[in-house]
Amino acid sequence: MDEVAAQSFVIFLAGYETSATTMTFAMYELALHPEVQQRLREEIKMVLAKHDDQFTYESLNEMKYMMQVIDETFRKHPPVTFITREAVADYKIPDENLVLEKGTRMMIPILGYHHDEEYYKNPTVFDPERFNDENRKKIHPFILGERFGLMQVQVGLASILKSFKVTLNPKTEVPIKMHTNSILAAPEGGVWINVSKI
């Protein structure tokens, strides 16, 4: 029981921190792209109107453009910029004179893959259409990382955007500069957003 409780605590904390980071970057991008923000707001209002203004598993699953925005936020601003792995067996890299020996630890740069033109055309551009039904099929299945706290992000964004417009505060530097000594993605000076009732 202690182990289950400890694991649940870690999952909760990991989900909370990555969710908060993802929401921060999503708000940043939505403030920079008012046309994306408006399209997302319209989807939120339309879907919630069909579900008595309730956030349910079903209503969240109907928000397709919301998922495109979140996936593009994950791609451009992954909350965790790298992952570590350990080789469980010797592995010869194809067409190279190099063997990764069992027990070798590696750091895999998620941010690097997400900003590589080999996988994403114009990687510095925020474009939720990368993740529409047609384009999603063209993305390598292992390039977009796992998601923690996805519903938390969906509910958070939908709760704000259905009633408020977000714009960037002049305190926010564009483009944002990232801390270089943080495990989680963290913008220097933070992200400052203005919120106004609509």
Handedness of CA 82, 158, 12, 194 (dihedral sign): positive
Q: Is the pLDDT of residue 124 over 80?
A: yes
Mean of pLDDT values over 56-62: 92
Position 148 scores a pLDDT of 44
Mean of pLDDT values over 30-56: 96
Question: Which three-class secondary structure string do you get for 92-123?
Answer: ECCCCCCEECCCCEEEECHHHHHCCCCCCCCC
> For 26-151, where are the E strands, in sequence order?
83-86, 91-92, 99-100, 105-108
Structural domains in the chain, CATH included, are 2-79+121-197 (1.10.630.10)
Instruction: Summarize pLDDT for 125-168 with one digit per residue, the tens.
Output: 999 999 999 988 887 765 554 454 678 789 889 999 999 999 99
Distance of CA 30 to the CA centre of its chain: 13
In the chain, what percentage of residues exceed pLDDT 90? 60
Q: Is the pLDDT of residue 178 over 80?
A: yes
Instruction: Summarize pLDDT for 75-121 with one digit per residue, the tens.
Output: 999 888 888 899 999 999 999 999 999 999 999 888 898 999 998 99
Position 3 scores a pLDDT of 66
